[in-house]
Chain A
Amino acid sequence: MNIIGPDLLIFGVDDVNACREFASDYGLTAEGEYRFLALDGTGIEIRAKEDPILPEALGTGSMLRKTVYGVADQATVDAIAAELGKDREVRTLEDGSIESVDDHGFVLGFQITVRKALELPAEAINAPGAPAQRDVNTVAVTKQDSPLPRTLSHVVYFVPDAPKQEAFYRDRLGFITTDRFTHVGPFMRPAGTQDHHTVFFIQTPPHMKGIEHFTFHMGGPTDVVTAGTKMVNKGYQSFWGPGRHIFGSNWFWYFKSPFGCNMEFDADMDLHDDEWEAREAMPGADNSQVFLLQYREKWAPMGPPPPKGA
């Protein structure tokens, strides 16, 4: 199955205006009445939770109503429809996409991907021993930098039966497990991307079923920290980060949000192919990050010298 990754997340939220403001400040661009998009056209759709056009809620309070995957071509859409049609309803919507559910009742959509090819440079660094990545006299940062999210990266879900969820995404949709946390769940990528993960499933009690966080890829670690700092300066509250994960190696910074889940900035994720053998580690702080930084309001060592004497 040539599934590339998430194209669109559809939310039914409690406070539409707060979510729209949040999405805009996060760096997504409003498109039409409901959508906020990253540079490549992937994004989120924000509707009031009562909107009758939305798929049914999960019943746990989670505001995520649908995950729409982008796939390579119509043949893939058809193949998924045939596969899922073996044991569940598959609807074809007016826009040509198909809609069904996974084994936990999360509503899924599949469409020919809307992703536009981006031609943007990655963050360039200069390091001794390696060719310079930035031209001479080219500066790396300015105070005016305002990096934008490039593409919808991944979604993390709370699920009551992670092995069952892993089996469904592996056996029915062709996802590949890249790493796992013991007794927690797998990181998985669909066959159409080399990104370390587009989903991570976390085993939880049934009443928690829903979205844990979602995130967009940024152009590099400096983009993550710059974008996060802009959020902090606007009064948004950090949940975790900035830091760098071990599994996936992606830089992260998570913020609480009015979407009833965290919203992350991430960058520089590992790529894998079928040669990769999944690792396994115990969950916890030691295995979740190589380092964790903590934000501090601007400071510089420019004050008076410390007082003399004890």
Chain B
Amino acid sequence: MKNRVMLCREGDIPEVSARGFDPQRQGIDTVFVVKKDGEYFAYADICPHYGDTSLPWKKDTYLDSAGENIVCAAHGALFNIRSGLCTSGPCKGDALRPIPLIQEPDGSLWITLED
């Protein structure tokens, strides 16, 4: 069975910023969404280096200071915001797992959870 979960509304994520979400109510963010150039990109909050650790050092700290890369704070891996590809760091050549994002006409952002 599939459940749709609303993450937020478009306006909740300012341009060139990111936000983490806990759609399965696990107590930790498991998905994050980046807004860049008016587009939204969602990924699982798992660094491919070890495959089971999350990226930020503090809630929502997914981007570098210039807003040009996604950063993993464990060992400084950098990821392309659009492709999720790791361009520098321990998991260079690996990629973040993209999460299909559903944008409704009313401006809400949703993902589908697999049971």
Q: Does B78 contact A (CB under 8 A)?
A: yes
B57/A237 in contact, CB under 8 A: yes
B56 touches A256 (CB 8 A): yes
Q: What is the interface residue range for chain A against chain B? A: 20 to 34
The distance in angstroms between the C-alpha atoms of A210 and B66, with both chains bound, is 22
State the interface size on chain B (CB cutoff 8 A).
Answer: 24
Residues of B within 8 A of A276 (CB): none
Decide yes or no whether B64 CB sits under 8 A from chain A.
yes
Q: Which residues of B have CB within 8 Å of A22?
A: 57
Q: Which residue of B lies closest to A61 (CB)?
A: B88
Closest Cβ of chain A to B93, distance in Å, is 9
Chain B contacts with A in 57-78, Cβ cutoff 8 A: 57-59, 61, 64-66, 71-78
Q: Does chain B have a CB within 8 A of A260?
A: yes
Contacts known (A18-B61, A204-B90); A237 close to B54, Cβ less than 8 A: yes
Measured in the bound complex, the distance between the Cα atoms of B58 and A22 in whole Å is: 10
Chain A residues, CB < 8 A from B74: 239, 256, 261-262
Residues 157-180 of A contacting B (Cβ, < 8 Å): 158
Least Cβ distance of A254 to chain B in Å?
8
Contact of A212 with B by CB under 8 A = yes
CB nearest neighbor in A for B29: A237
Interface flags, A202-228, vs B, CB<8A=1, else 0: 001001101010000000000000000
Q: C-beta contact mask, A258-285 vs B, less than 8 Å → 1, else 0?
A: 1011100000000000000000000000
Query: Please, which residues of chain A bring their CB within 8 A of the CB of B59?
Result: 235, 237
The yes or no answer to B89 lying at the interface (CB within 8 A) is yes
Q: Cβ of B92 < 8 Å from any Cβ of A?
A: yes
Given known pairs A212-B75, A257-B73, A260-B76, the reply for A60 and B88 (CB within 8 Å) is yes
A15, CB-defined interface residue at 8 Å: yes
Q: Which residue of the partner chain A has the closest CB to B58? A: A235
Query: Is A40 on the interface with B (CB-CB < 8 A)?
Result: no
A95 CA / B55 CA spacing, docked (Å):
39
Report the tally of A-B residue pairs with Cβ distances under 8 A: 66
**Complex contacts, B75 vs chain A, CB 8 Å:** 158, 208, 210, 212, 260-262
Dominant SS among interface residues on chain B: loop
Chain B residues closer than 8 Å to A260, beta-carbon distance:
71, 73, 75-76
**Proximity bits, B72-87, A CB within 8 Å = 1, else 0:** 1111111000000000
Contact B76 A237 (CB under 8 A): no
Verify if A255 is at the interface (C-beta below 8 Å from B): yes
Given A60-B88, A256-B56, A256-B73, verify A14-B61 contact (CB < 8 Å): no
From A263, which residue of chain B is reached at the shortest CB distance?
B57
Whether B112 sits at the interface, judged by CB under 8 Å, is: no
Minimum Cβ distance to chain B for residue A68 (Å): 21
The minimal Cβ–Cβ distance linking A129 to chain B, given in whole angstroms, is 40
Chain A neighbourhood of B57, CB < 8 A = 18, 22, 236-237, 255-258
Q: Is A63 an interface residue (CB 8 A)?
A: yes
Q: Which residues of chain B have C-beta atoms less than 8 A from A210's C-beta?
A: 75-76
Q: Could you show 21 A-B contacts with beta carbons less than 8 Å apart?
A: A14-B64, A14-B71, A18-B61, A18-B65, A61-B77, A61-B89, A158-B90, A208-B89, A235-B58, A237-B54, A237-B58, A237-B73, A255-B57, A256-B54, A256-B56, A256-B57, A256-B72, A257-B73, A258-B57, A258-B73, A261-B75
* A residues neighboring B (CB under 8 Å): 14-15, 18, 22, 60-63, 158, 204, 207-208, 210, 212, 235-237, 239, 255-258, 260-262, 297
A sample of 16 more A-B contacts (CB under 8 A), given A256-B54, A257-B57, is A22-B57, A60-B89, A61-B78, A208-B75, A210-B75, A210-B76, A212-B75, A235-B59, A237-B54, A237-B57, A256-B57, A258-B57, A258-B61, A258-B73, A260-B76, A297-B27
Which 5 residue pairs are nearest across A and B when measured between Cβ atoms? Answer: A260-B76, A256-B73, A256-B57, A61-B88, A15-B65
